[in-house]
Amino acid sequence: MSIAGQYAVETDPASIPANMLAAVYRGINDVRLETVPVPKIGAGEMLVRVHSCGVCGTDLKKISTGSHSAPRIFGHETSGVVVAVGEKVRKHKPGDRVVVFHHIPCRMCFYCRHKTFAQCDTYKKVGCTAGFEPSGGGFAEYVRVMDWVVEDGTVRIPDGISFEQACFVEPVNTCMKGIEVLRLEPGETLLTIGQGPIGIMLSVLAKRVGAHLVTSDLYPERLKIGASFGLGRTIDASRQNVIERIRELTEGRGADAVILAVGGNALIRTAMDAARPGGRVLLFAQTQHGEAVIDPAAVCVEEKTLLGSYSASVDLQEDSVRFVMNREMDLERLVSHRFALTRATEAIDLAAHPQSSSMKVLIQPGASWAS
């Protein structure tokens, strides 16, 4: 599909149907394609017709663990076209191509003043919905964007930038926040464990800071993709011991910093052991509560620092938009699979059970009307 073809979109509000298709979460590992009403918008809100929505690991965990009540419509890495606006909306108009953040903080509370935006009560109120309890809504044909997100969390997509490239703005923001939390300095050696789309984005952003990168993954195919982005020093975890190899590369010390970009708790101990005494470890993908094995002496005696980073930072919104819209990274190359909304359950299943050939999975409700 050409980029030019993606711009030829019908935006006549009269053409908006009463009902639409959506992938509805009904319980643990139970997502069904259903017909639901198109959301109604208020005076300060707008309706966006979804073109592309990335399948995110946090959505997958909610679906697989039942951590959230049902029914819901997930999906928050959303790009599309504005088709209707409320009477009080001035920033956007029908026909605008946009990418939407689903969380925006109040900027005034205790947590916002301390720059811990993800803990803000307003931030935790999802500002986009395709129906039911607001949960992002990108796995549907249309999404309602609420007033505070219309004002502060909706970004116009420039001409020449595809919907696919644009839908990476939110995940890039989360990665930028992680790199900021890690406080990387030029010349430091960073080990990134996991080279899925998030791991590669984290690594590219760390290299941008001036860190010396080493990456590891169980899939050699993913390491090759990372190498195509300039991430050439790799550890094939299917054949090499990651801890031994990173120590060989660092005169026996270990990495100055380690990012764990693999979900679950199984590799936390590996990440801790791969860091040098006095080093830092960032847990990036461990968004599920549960028991984990951590050596307390590694923190106390070896003075290693364990850090966490969750969700996006409003302070980095402009930086992430520039990075994506200026194509500082060709993020479309991370997309391995594209599914029509009618195949959303297949998309979710593939993303939940990644293969050596799978990277970023997109659900594209609007691929047909924008082609």
Q: How far apart are CA 128 and CA 149, in angstroms?
A: 8
Angle at 34 between CA 30 and CA 36, to 5 degrees: 125
Residue 304: how many other CB atoms lie within 10 Å:
23
CA 248 to chain centre: 33
* Low-confidence spans in the chain with pLDDT less than 70: 1-14, 367-371
The whole-number pLDDT of residue 111 equals: 97
| Region at 327 (left for phi over 0; alpha for psi -120 to 50; beta for the rest) | left
CATH superfamily of 4-161+327-364: Medium-chain alcohol dehydrogenases, catalytic domain (3.90.180.10)
CATH 3.55.50.30 fits 183-308, yes or no: no
The whole-number pLDDT of residue 339 equals: 97
pTM comes to: 0.94
Per the omega criterion (within 30 degrees of 0), is the bond before 296 cis?
no
The whole-number pLDDT of residue 185 equals: 95
Sign of CA dihedral 72, 77, 79, 82: positive
Domain segments of the chain as ranges:
4-161+327-364, 183-308
Residue 109: how many other CB atoms lie within 10 Å:
16
